[in-house]
Amino acid sequence: MKAQKIKRVDLIFDSTSTKEVLVKAIKMKPEEIIQEVLDSGLRGRGGAGFPTGLKWKYAASEKGAVKYIVCNADEGEPGTFKDRQILEDAPRKVYAGMAIAGRAIGAKQGYIYLRGEYRYLLFKLMEELVFFHSRLKELGYDFNIQFRMGSGAYICGEESALFESIEGRRGEPRNKPPFPTVSGLFGKPTVINNVETLVYTVEILDHGAKHFKEMGTSDSRGSKVFSISGDTPKPGIYELELGMTVERFVEEFGDGDTKAVQVGGASGFCVPRKKFRETIIGFEGVPTGGSMILFNSSRSMYNLLHNYLDFFDEESCGQCAPCRVGCQQLLQGVVSVKAGEKDSRYLDELVKLAKTMKIASKCGLGQSVGNAFRTIVEHFREEIIY
């Protein structure tokens, strides 16, 4: 069987006229917009993959005069840099996506929570925003967007921690329920979407749900922007159709000596060479917010794991016990095993602990620390021990 080529897609960075899409959106009823997004099968592009149309539908069904649209531009997952590119190249599409979401759920105010390290983009983004606001005014479209800056904490990319941060408090995740669509920013019904997700809604309205749905697989419709880095001859940002196997991906982007691919950044999964063929990149296999890091045989998987755990040890907000203490135990645990202070069987205890962290932590951060840990320890055990 001939290997299927990876399909490059050009939607996110295409020359779609946001003005035309906005005019189209004005003519549509809110429920028609939501139906279009639902029909497309679009799922959140930040990583968790919640169906976007459903999120909008829930928020639209909430009563109350004040609702918010929040754009999550706190792109913090190690190895992902695609939102930065989208904000640089297609800011108007981001704004338009927010305005359309606003119309869909009945929100008149939007916030963009911009990663602290992206402050250098702010001046140009503000210029574009002035232009965008004047265009909305021309169209008689009642929506306003403001920027809020992050300050460098990874946890503030978690939606409820992000709200806390905007509200001026310590960025720590809230208890759920209630979910943001019921009680989000300032306690109001809120839709929070990733930068890329919002742009896709613009493309879906422009090209139609059918066009989008035809791409990808039944679980992972459409295309996705990938941030590709590591041991690859062609690092960079690529918009690709979803549903490819890691094998196809490595054929395209590997350097011929790829031993593992970290899909989804530090909070994602490590896929070893022996699993390349059977692993699909998408919600039916390994999901990713875009981060794809390739490792060749020169890399130490112990160093990789240490690096990730070190990251979580620092970036856990520290609020809940499984995550705060669990991250420290995993980190110091692998160090102890490597140093021979702990028996290699201690790794099995740590894998059990990682499982507890996955089911008992308060938010997605703590719940996903175990992904990389478990997959690296499982597939590269000898590299951790010796």
How big is the CA angle at 251 (ends 246 and 255), to the nearest 5 degrees? 110
Question: Distances in Å between the alpha carbon of 54 and those of 58, 98, 123, 145, 191?
Answer: 6, 16, 34, 23, 10
Q: How far is CA 53 from the centre of its chain?
A: 17
Contact between 337 and another protein by CB under 8 A: the answer reads no
| Among 77-85, 236-244, 260-268, 311-319, the segment contacting another protein (CB under 8 A) | 311-319
Q: Please pick, from the candidates 40, 267, 329, 375, the single residue that binds another protein as defined by CB under 8 A.
A: 329
**How far, in Å, CA of 382 to CA of 369, rounded?**
21
Contact between 320 and another protein by CB under 8 A: the answer reads yes
Nearest distance from C-beta of residue 236 to another protein, angstroms: 31
Which residue bears the tokens 């699909």? 280
Identify whether the C-beta of residue 272 lies closer than 8 Å to the C-beta of residue 380: yes
Q: Report the residue number, 231 or 315, with the smaller CB distance to another protein.
A: 315
Q: Please pick, from the candidates 47, 157, 268, 326, the single residue that binds another protein as defined by CB under 8 A.
A: 326
Nearest distance from C-beta of residue 360 to another protein, angstroms: 4
Contact between 319 and another protein by CB under 8 A: the answer reads yes
| Among 113-121, 170-178, 264-272, 278-286, the segment contacting another protein (CB under 8 A) | 170-178
Identify whether the C-beta of residue 338 lies closer than 8 Å to the C-beta of residue 302: yes
- Helices 91-105 & 30-40 angle (0-180, nearest 10): 120
Q: Please pick, from the candidates 135, 306, 324, 381, the single residue that binds another protein as defined by CB under 8 A.
A: 324
Tokens of 78: 């190690």
Q: Please work out the total of residues on this chain that contact another protein, with binding judged by CB under 8 A.
A: 35
Which residue bears the tokens 């755990």? 309
**How far, in Å, CA of 46 to CA of 194, rounded?**
5
| Among 61-69, 204-212, 230-238, 322-330, the segment contacting another protein (CB under 8 A) | 322-330
Contact between 372 and another protein by CB under 8 A: the answer reads no
Which amino acid is present at 127?
E
Site track for another protein across 348-367, x = CB under 8 A: -x--xx--x-xxxxx----x
Q: What is the DSSP string of 315-370?
A: HS-S-SHHHHHHHHHHHHHHHHHHTTSS-TTHHHHHHHHHHHHHHHSSSHHHHHHH
Site track for another protein across 201-240, x = CB under 8 A: ----------------------------------------
Nearest distance from C-beta of residue 326 to another protein, angstroms: 6
Tokens of 175: 């208890």
Site for another protein in 124-153 (CB under 8 A): 153
Tokens of 350: 């740590």
Nearest distance from C-beta of residue 100 to another protein, angstroms: 30
Q: Report the residue number, 88 or 343, with the smaller CB distance to another protein.
A: 343
**How far, in Å, CA of 243 to CA of 258, rounded?**
20
Q: Please pick, from the candidates 86, 107, 317, 372, the single residue that binds another protein as defined by CB under 8 A.
A: 317
Contact between 327 and another protein by CB under 8 A: the answer reads yes
Site for another protein in 25-44 (CB under 8 A): none
Tokens of 188: 């109001």
Nearest distance from C-beta of residue 332 to another protein, angstroms: 5
Contact between 328 and another protein by CB under 8 A: the answer reads yes
Identify whether the C-beta of residue 181 lies closer than 8 Å to the C-beta of residue 44: no
Q: Report the residue number, 82 or 174, with the smaller CB distance to another protein.
A: 174
**How far, in Å, CA of 141 to CA of 14, rounded?**
24
Alpha-carbon dihedral 131, 135, 138, 139, rounded to 10 degrees? -170
Site for another protein in 261-300 (CB under 8 A): none
Nearest distance from C-beta of residue 373 to another protein, angstroms: 14
Residues lying near another protein in the complex (CB under 8 A)? 153, 155, 170, 175, 177, 312-322, 324-329, 332-333, 336, 349, 352-353, 356, 358-362, 367
